[in-house]
Structure 1
Amino acid sequence: MPDYEFVFVVDGISLDDHAAVGALTDELDAVLSCSHGVHRMTVSGSGPDAVAAAGAVVARARTLAPAMRILRLDPDLVGVSDIAERTGRSRQNVTQWVHGQRRDKAPFPAPEGTVGRSLVWLWSEVNAWLRGIGLDDGENRPTRAEATEIDWLLRHGARPIRVSLDVDFDMLPGREDTPDIATRLVEHARHTPRFIEYLLRHPQVRDARGRHTVVVCSPDDQAAAVFARLRAHGRPVVVATITTGVFAQVVSAARRPGSVPVELPAGATVRDWIGLVALYPDREFSAGADDLGAVAEGDPLEFASR
């Protein structure tokens, strides 16, 4: 499993607390530092991804130093001078990278913001770009999405919130791996804070047992077939699929009184329907002759798949 480096902002510990600092150093090979009154802990951990690695490191650190509070990741913002210093190159070289004068390489990462009159970048993104020209520092760090997830878990306690899911999917013709696709999609969603928060905001998708119902489908499935599955549930559910990332939408097969739904063209797919929902979020949709309809409830959710 890969190793990841983390820099956490911590509190409740002093560099003079030799017992706690010694335990973290000896057991985790952590480095504690303090600058301008802000305490940081630099530490490495291994795992299948950065989120899992961070979770293991945080759990172990809390055992070794119970009084220490791990607040968040340090974003490690860098300017042109910082990048030059870390790479051993001149400011002029770095400025050329920033302005895209290395046309043989991918575009330089977008800046994170401005400090005073100077642009700053996330070092994790810059380091990933530098890897393409052999100038990275050799460390793996959380991506932007992983860092957001780690910070969410830190704010909400050591253990992530779990939800109980009831997964509904159909076997796609010629796709015997559909159960595996559904499992991987839902397992990813189950451990993604944004998806968990999305489910918690929509209790109407729970069944009598309190399980959140997720209908998993392919974007190439016929919309009429998926609408029929929605009707079978008799209540709102979450429709989940994968387009450029994971897409989720709370949908009901109920019809609003007096409504005139938009009729989808014959053979319309789930992808077609999602596109129309984006254009007409307040409209209802019908699948044609069988009069199978779907109503989107609440804003959709999209996030990158790992």
Structure 2
Amino acid sequence: MSTSNFEFTFEVAELNDTAVDAIELHYDCVESTHGRTTELTLLVPGMNATDAASEAINRILAAGVTVRRLVDDLVTRTEIAERADVTSQAVGLWARGERKRGVSFPEPYVYAGSVRLWLWGEVATYLRAAHVPIDEGVQYPGRAETLRIAGLIADLLAGHRPVTAAG
């Protein structure tokens, strides 16, 4: 089984330069702050999304930073169209099953009022299966992996350590 690169965004407690430097020794990372929320986006090698996230969480902890949650990479129909370089109408046809038959478009991950939001990891998997060219080969967690990673973080926040994908 080969190693893939997974992209994760974690909401973390406030970062300092020393912590960022320690994390950058292992991963490509981008820090961003939105109001009082700090996010850390990492590119992490691993055999699967859950194991890669587990290792990343442990490295973040080792740098003295608290992980609060995995930030879901949610996308609208318009954002899917932009990332896939197709029209929003094409995405609508995929979502309704009227194009790319034989490959099922994922169900929305969540509804926000009348807006449907999809998990990018599931959409990216669909696009690859439907032979729609996208990104540079980066993998993203799907629904099951997202829930497992959220569980790992919940256990961590409840005081259960170490964080491992195996439980």
Q: Is TM (by shorter chain) over 0.5? A: yes
Give every structure 1 segment of 4 or more consecutive aligned residues whose post-TM-superposition deviation is greater than 6 Å: none
Work out whether residues 128 and 136 of structure 1, in 8 Å CA contact, stay in contact via their aligned partners in 2.
no
Q: 1:12: which partner in 2?
A: 14
**Offset at residue 36 of structure 1 (A):** 4.1
Distance 1:28 1:56 in 2: 11
Structure 1: state its 5+ residue gaps. 162-189, 194-306
Deviations 1:124-172 (A, max 9, x none): 11111011223332211223222212221222224158xxxxxxxxxxx
SS of the aligned residue for 1:30 comes to: strand
Corresponding pairs, count: 159
Instruction: Tell me which of 131, 134, 138 is aligned to 2:132.
Output: 134
Matched, 1:117 2:114: yes
**Residue 52 to residue 143, structure 1, CA distance change in 2 (3 Å):** same
Structure 2: state its 5+ residue gaps. none
Distance 1:32 1:72 in 2: 15
Instruction: Tell me which of 2, 5, 9 is aligned to 1:3.
Output: 5
**Residue 113 to residue 61, structure 1, CA distance change in 2 (3 Å):** closer
Distance 1:154 1:113 in 2: 20
Work out whether residues 153 and 159 of structure 1, in 8 Å CA contact, stay in contact via their aligned partners in 2.
no
Instruction: Tell me which of 85, 91, 95 is aligned to 1:94.
Output: 91
Matched, 1:159 2:158: no
5 Å-filtered alignment, 1:161-240, equals 191=166
Q: 1:83: which partner in 2?
A: 80
TM-score by length of 2: 0.83
Distance 2:23 2:127 in 1: 31
Instruction: Tell me which of 48, 70, 79 is aligned to 1:73.
Output: 70
**Offset at residue 28 of structure 1 (A):** 2.1
Distance 1:2 1:27 in 2: 15
Distance 1:108 1:102 in 2: 10
Q: 2:44: which partner in 1?
A: 45
Distance 2:93 2:26 in 1: 43
**Which structure is richer in relative contact order (CA contacts within 8 A, separation 6 or more)?**
2
Counterpart of 1:90, as a letter, is T
Counterpart of 1:120, as a letter, is L
Deviations 1:244-289 (A, max 9, x none): xxxxxxxxxxxxxxxxxxxxxxxxxxxxxxxxxxxxxxxxxxxxxx
Aligned identity (percent) is 31
Work out whether residues 25 and 31 of structure 1, in 8 Å CA contact, stay in contact via their aligned partners in 2.
no
Distance 2:104 2:76 in 1: 17
**Offset at residue 35 of structure 1 (A):** 2.4
Counterpart of 1:35, as a letter, is H
Instruction: Tell me which of 96, 101, 108 is aligned to 2:105.
Output: 108
Distance 2:27 2:100 in 1: 42
Distance 1:18 1:103 in 2: 47
Work out whether residues 23 and 59 of structure 2, in 8 Å CA contact, stay in contact via their aligned partners in 1.
no
TM-score by length of 1: 0.48
Highest Rg: 1 or 2? Answer: 1
Distance 2:138 2:21 in 1: 24
SS of the aligned residue for 1:40 comes to: strand
